Amino acid sequence: MKILVTGAVGFIGSHTAERLKEMGHEVIGVDNFSPYYSESLKKLNEKALHKKDVNVLKLDLRADNLAESLPKDIDFIFHFAAQPGISTTSTFEDYFTNNIIATKNLIDYALQLDHLKLFVNIGTSSIYGLEATFPEDEAPKPASHYGVTKLAAEQLVLQKSREKQLKSCSLRLYSVFGPRERPEKMYTKLIACGYNKDAFPLYEGSSTHLRSFTFVDDIVDGVVSVMNNIDAVDGEIINLGTEVEHTTQDGIDAVAKVMDMEIAINHVSARAGDQLRTKANIDKARRLLNYNPQTTLLEGVEKQVAWYRENFL
């Protein structure tokens, strides 16, 4: 199969592109190398992809006429590209153009493909809102520009399934961590603070926040499994994550244990829109995809610390 992965040099996109290549598929990556975080990390991910013979095109999905730059014989699209997370440095226009306009342009391109079997949108538990513990039919209540625009993108994709114009699904991911995690995200930042003897900025009240911290390999297992279940997932929203909950403090303690050091904490003001609790309800993923994440928090942290040591120390 010939597969297009957008956001291919990002955290989860790069892991998915690698997995698909290992499965024997031809993989074309697309990324705009956004300056949202250090380009050096993206180049590191791109280098890893090149070693696996995955070519990455530098292309901004917000541009029109994607069909002029992308192949016409794509079988699957995995759409990871987005303006990520909750950040005071990101404007509403950043979220709107990267999450909605870019998705609309990609859909327009997909509709021109003759052999497309499935368009896989990558969503987020942030769509549910401050509490994300629900099955997929729960009414969404996003509490951030990120969540609002990712919901809109998701519905743009699923609209085309309802109109029978293409087959699609949306996967809502929960608190993913592991090697290549972005530098501003919790675990990479914790590890960096520990090795650099810096204080980790902990948002007020967040030490007791509950999360379905899910190791990236377990997420990729679920993502690629949709390829064998096209008819079952068409038009569906599916949660992917672990049912095991941990507090933010549990995460801090796990990193400190693996690194065998204390990590200093700097308490900072609470962040607007931050989720209070995420617990992945994966009954549907189990039923449709036989999904069963296995990696424990400590096992995942050990792998992420090893990745950090190898690449940054």
Regarding pTM above 0.85, the answer is yes
Does 84 map to a domain?
A: yes
Provide the 8-state DSSP code for 227.
G
Q: How does the average pLDDT of the chain come out, rounded?
A: 95
Query: Can you give the pLDDT at residue 271?
Result: 73
Per-residue pLDDT of 100-144, as tens digits, reads: 999 999 999 999 999 999 999 999 999 999 999 999 999 999 999
**Position 92 in a domain:** yes
Instruction: Judge whether residue 86 has pLDDT over 80.
Output: no
Mean of the pLDDT values across residues 259-263? Answer: 95
Residues 135 and 17 in one domain: yes
Domain that holds residue 99: 2-174+213-243+279-294
Residues 103 and 117 placed together within one structural domain of the fold: yes
pLDDT at 19 over 90: yes
Based on the fold, state whether residues 158 and 204 are members of the same structural domain.
no
Question: Are 100 and 61 members of one domain?
Answer: yes
- Position 310 pLDDT exceeds 90: yes
Query: Are 88 and 64 found together in one domain?
Result: yes
Task: Give the total number of structural domains in the chain.
Answer: 2
Q: Are residue 77 and residue 195 in the same domain, yes or no?
A: no
- Check which CATH number belongs to the domain holding 14 and give it: 3.40.50.720
pLDDT tens-digit map of 57-68: 999 999 878 999
Mean pLDDT of 40-46: 93
- Residue 159 CA to residue 87 CA, distance in Å, equals 29
Confidence of residue 83 (pLDDT cuts 50, 70, 90): very high
Return the beta strands (E) in the chain as ranges.
2-6, 26-31, 55-58, 76-79, 118-124, 131-132, 168-173, 176-177, 200-203, 210-211, 214-215, 236-240, 246-247, 265-268, 277-278
- Assess if residue 181 is contained within a domain: no
Q: Does one domain contain both 156 and 51?
A: yes
pLDDT tens digit sequence for 155-207: 999 999 999 999 999 999 999 999 999 999 999 999 999 999 999 999 888 88
